[in-house]
Amino acid sequence: MKIRIKGNSIRYRLTMSEVEAFGKTGVVSECTSFGKNTFYYALKADPGIKALSASFDNNTITLMLPEAEARGWAASSAIGFRNTLNLDGGGQLSLLLEKDFTCMDETEEDQSDNYPNPRAMP
């Protein structure tokens, strides 16, 4: 799982096996160690919500997706989900959750578990 943060925008990209695991277990997570501190990010299925949502607690960013959408995402052609949250005191937080496609340009990262890029298909 990859995370991209820019200003008030959070984007998660998941590989095929992560999307499949998420559909079965309702959760996937990652962490980055900074020595004395660790940053966590997670995706959880939530039966009590109607749209993609987010929280930040205990050094953890958690995106939550409605449980019904989480279960069927792996088998569907849906690329992802987006939502914009209105923040207390004004402002907005943009959320994007999507399947991770192989890059069209040269990259050194392992992409063997990424979805085939539709733009690369004949």
pTM for the model: 0.84
Whether domain 2-102 has CATH 3.30.1360: the reply is yes
For the beta carbon of residue 63, count every other beta carbon within 10 angstroms. 23
Domain boundaries, the chain: 2-102
Whether the pLDDT of residue 119 is over 90: the answer is no
DSSP letter at 119 equals G
pLDDT band at 120 (very low <50, low <70, confident <90, very high): low
The pLDDT score that the predictor gives to residue 95 is: 98
In this prediction, residues 2-18 reach a mean pLDDT of: 94
